Amino acid sequence: MFDLKSEWNISLAGCGFTSIYYVGAFSCFLEQAPYLINGASKISGASSGSLVAAVLAIGMDLEQYCENLLSMAREARKWKLSTMHPSFNLLKIVRDSLERDLPADAHLRATGRLFVSLTKVSDRKNVLVSEFNSKAELIQVLLCSCFYPLYCGMIPPVYNGVHYVDGALSNNMPHFDLKNTITVCPFSGESDVCPRESTFNFHEYRQNNTSIKFNTSNLHRVIMSFLPPEPQVMAEICRDGYMDALRFLREAGVMTQVDCPSASCCEFVNESTEAIDAAETESTKTLLIGRLNPPPKHHWWLDAQSIKNLPTPIKKVLCEACKERHAGSLYSQVTELLPLRLVSYLFLPVELAYSITKRFLNWLPEMPSDLCWIYGLAADMCRQSWK
């Protein structure tokens, strides 16, 4: 049972594009029990979980992370091979969003509170980083934690002269063993906040401090972690995160707020709350609520149930993503026709050759140092094998 009398921590597992689950879960925390995040001693994460952990530790808006994640998924869906296409550079997109959105003092806010899980390439041991000397250093640590070999590239990023890869490969749930740690994971298992399913489970798999049950739902989630689903599906994952977090808060008895319906996504007016609070009589308040929050319109591009209970800013981001996906331009609708799609696939080898050549030319300035590192790594592996 969760104990509020002693210090507590929050730990997030790596999960790729299904980290939209964390947006729903922690928006519930911020809405119903904000002190759980504000008072946490350590907020730790691995891979994509470290990005959300950084958002929470620094105090950024979750809707901004949600918008960036949906934009990243939209960029991946532009290519025929999705994230596997050579032209899709996941790490560059993550770096650009971090450089744009992180405040100048992000490293000061994160130091001592944010713990990022990394895996050292040389000995495959886990390293937890919690001290950051600059914003650029914080970004580099987060990039190292998100670098999944082959999926993100061939040469791992460097932090303090050492190559690191995805922290989930050595410790996917940092501080899992510490007392009073709230573990959050979008895969059904034994985490505090996770999906609970009635489907048949073949086996429970536990590795790198993460509990994952073998079932068809988790298999689908693993695929979506690497290949981003449609915005409608991501909205449903976000809603599931909110409801799972709400269930945890109720069972732990730590809720401080009461349930209240939120406004619809597109009809929300920022000034509505202030105007309603300023009203003196109940009749005036009722009238203002009717004027400032009119009945929601039917949005055919998004199922209303998939964003039910979510905070209004998150609803608006998800609604806009689904609307943009379904609206599209005349050009995108024409190119979806079967004959044109077949022609485009015939030119796929040429497109791949061009993309690979372009990435190779961009790699040329760093080739000497990278080749020296690969040679040294191969030599170390040979020496260890000989021993």
Tokens of 22: 């964390």
Q: Which residue has the higher pLDDT, 252 or 93?
A: 93
High-pLDDT (> 90) share of the chain, %? 49
* pLDDT at 78 > cutoff 90: no
Helices (H), the chain: 20-32, 35-38, 48-58, 62-77, 90-101, 106-110, 135-146, 216-226, 231-252, 272-278, 282-292, 312-327, 330-335, 338-346, 348-363, 367-386
- Lowest-confidence range among 258-272, 296-310, 361-375? 258-272
- Lowest-confidence range among 12-16, 195-199, 330-334? 330-334
Distance CA 364, CA 372 (A): 13
335: number of Cβ within 10 Å: 13
Whether the Cβ atoms of residue 51 and residue 269 lie closer than 8 Å to each other: no
* pLDDT at 65 > cutoff 90: yes
Distance CA 141, CA 158 (A): 9
Name, in order, each residue with C-beta under 8 angstroms of 2's C-beta and a sequence gap of 6 or more: 8, 180, 182, 192, 252, 254
Q: Which residue has the higher pLDDT, 370 or 230?
A: 230
| Residues taking part in catalysis | 47, 166
- Lowest-confidence range among 49-63, 88-102, 107-121, 334-348? 334-348
Name, in order, each residue with C-beta under 8 angstroms of 99's C-beta and a sequence gap of 6 or more: 139
Distance CA 105, CA 64 (A): 18
Looking at residue 186, what is its pLDDT?
A: 95
* pLDDT at 298 > cutoff 70: no
What average pLDDT does this structure show over 67-96?
90
Amino acid at site 330 = L
State in Å, rounded, how far the first CA of the chain is from the last one: 48
Q: In this structure, what DSSP letter does residue 279 have? A: -
Location of structure tokens 């996941």: 90
Looking at residue 114, what is its pLDDT?
A: 96
Please give the model's pTM, rounded to 2 decimal places.
Answer: 0.84
β-strands 114-120, 162-166 pairing: antiparallel
Q: Which residue has the higher pLDDT, 266 or 317?
A: 317
- In angstroms, the Cα distances linking 26 to 51, 91, 309 are 13, 24, 13
**Where residue 199 falls among pLDDT bands split at 50, 70, 90?**
low
**Where residue 334 falls among pLDDT bands split at 50, 70, 90?**
low
